[in-house]
């Protein structure tokens, strides 16, 4: 019978698993112990620091949106990820997190994403399911996108329409995508949490941790070249780092979705960049120039040309 883990222990285990995954270790086994407990065993050593660099020229911002939106939450406090220091007892669903996923045997990303969506089901895994959500907002776009954007969670418009970034922040994101020389249909867009937090509050850490494995699986299926984390919630969830936005922006991170193997064993992961959330840019348009620098860094990586006359 699985026991419920202490949330702190669960976090430490998740961080430990991420750490092993980053080193390419995915296979864990349960060692029968003298006690009824189960132990998680794997080999590993110190965590590698994220690698990165890239610079951007200081060209001015070009994406426009006229209507401010009261939504930006650029900073989110999050205790830094800790590592368990010894093999520990673990409940069954922690093993679910690291077990092979059904979509891994499917090469068609459309089908693979469908499998993840079906697995998500009519989700009741976190409190958001009973806090007024109308529907789950899974993600939208090209299942083979080279560029993927990750936001925080659906707002009222997204909850209504079942699609991420369709409100005012979405209009600005569309303009950002256009300015990069792309169309919305060419990229993939998803959120850390797939249900609307009531009153557009910032999702709780537990909500992010419960929902983000589905995002990780989406990324592993899509295998983008670059993921852009929009805002602090996305950045901190994906990177498991608690630094400020100022510290997180302006560089690339080597990124592999935690806890999952890509369906393609040749996919070595991708680059991840952090920029401001469009809702934050609506509130503070002076930061658009900084965001444009982040996007130019991404464009350079992807060989994209900015749209003329943006």
Q: By CB under 6 A, name the binding residues for ligand URA.
A: 151-155, 158, 164-165, 167, 169-170, 191, 279
User: Which residue's CB is nearer to ligand URA, number 158 or number 209?
Assistant: 158
Task: State in angstroms the smallest separation of the CB of 191 from ligand URA.
Answer: 5
User: Which residue's CB is nearer to ligand URA, number 197 or number 213?
Assistant: 197
Task: State in angstroms the smallest separation of the CB of 138 from ligand URA.
Answer: 11
Task: State in angstroms the smallest separation of the CB of 24 from ligand URA.
Answer: 31
Task: State in angstroms the smallest separation of the CB of 237 from ligand URA.
Answer: 11
What would the DSSP string read from start to end of 70-105? S--------PPP---SS--B--HHHHHHHSPPGGGG
User: Which residue's CB is nearer to ligand URA, number 18 or number 196?
Assistant: 196
User: Which residue's CB is nearer to ligand URA, number 13 or number 147?
Assistant: 147
Residue 87's nearest CA partner among 27, 38, 14, 35 is: 38
The CB density around residue 79, as the number of other CB atoms within 10 Å, is 9
* CA atoms of 62 and 302, how far apart (whole Å): 19
Task: State in angstroms the smallest separation of the CB of 70 from ligand URA.
Answer: 12
Q: Tokens 């189960």 correspond to what residue?
A: 38
* CA atoms of 245 and 263, how far apart (whole Å): 31
User: Which residue's CB is nearer to ligand URA, number 21 or number 200?
Assistant: 200
C-alpha separations of 33 from 3, 28, 74, 95, 114 in Å: 16, 15, 45, 16, 38
Q: Which residue is nearest to ligand URA (CB)?
A: 151
């Amino acid at each position: 019978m699985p026991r419920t883990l202490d949330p702190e222990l669960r976090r430490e285990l998740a961080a430990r698993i991420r750490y092993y995954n980053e080193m390419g270790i995915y296979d864990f086994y349960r060692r029968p112990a003298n006690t009824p407990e189960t132990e998680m065993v794997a080999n590993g050593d110190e965590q590698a620091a994220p690698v990165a660099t890239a610079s951007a020229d200081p060209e001015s911002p070009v994406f426009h949106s006229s209507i401010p939106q009261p939504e930006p939450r650029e900073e989110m406090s999050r205790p830094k990820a800790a590592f368990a220091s010894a093999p520990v007892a673990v409940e069954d669903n922690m093993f679910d997190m690291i077990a092979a996923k059904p979509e891994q045997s499917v090469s068609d990303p459309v089908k693979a994403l469908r499998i993840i969506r079906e697995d998500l089901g009519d989700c009741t895994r976190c409190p958001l399911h009973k806090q007024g959500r109308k529907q789950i907002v899974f993600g939208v776009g090209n299942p083979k996108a080279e560029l993927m954007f990750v936001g925080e969670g659906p707002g009222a418009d997204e909850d209504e329409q079942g699609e991420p970034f369709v409100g005012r922040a979405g209009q600005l994101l569309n303009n950002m995508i256009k300015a990069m020389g792309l169309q919305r249909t060419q990229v993939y867009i998803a959120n850390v949490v797939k249900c609307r937090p009531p009153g557009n509050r910032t999702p709780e850490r537990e909500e992010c941790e419960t929902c983000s494995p589905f995002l990780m699986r989406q990324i592993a299926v899509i295998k983008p070249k670059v993921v852009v984390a929009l805002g602090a919630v996305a950045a901190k969830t994906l990177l498991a780092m608690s630094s400020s936005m100022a510290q997180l922006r302006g560089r690339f991170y080597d990124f592999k979705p935690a806890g999952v193997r890509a369906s393609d064993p040749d996919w070595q992961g991708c680059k991840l960049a952090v920029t401001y959330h469009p809702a934050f840019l609506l509130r503070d348009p002076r930061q658009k120039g900084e965001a444009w620098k982040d996007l130019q860094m991404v464009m350079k990586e992807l060989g994209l040309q900015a749209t003329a006359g943006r």
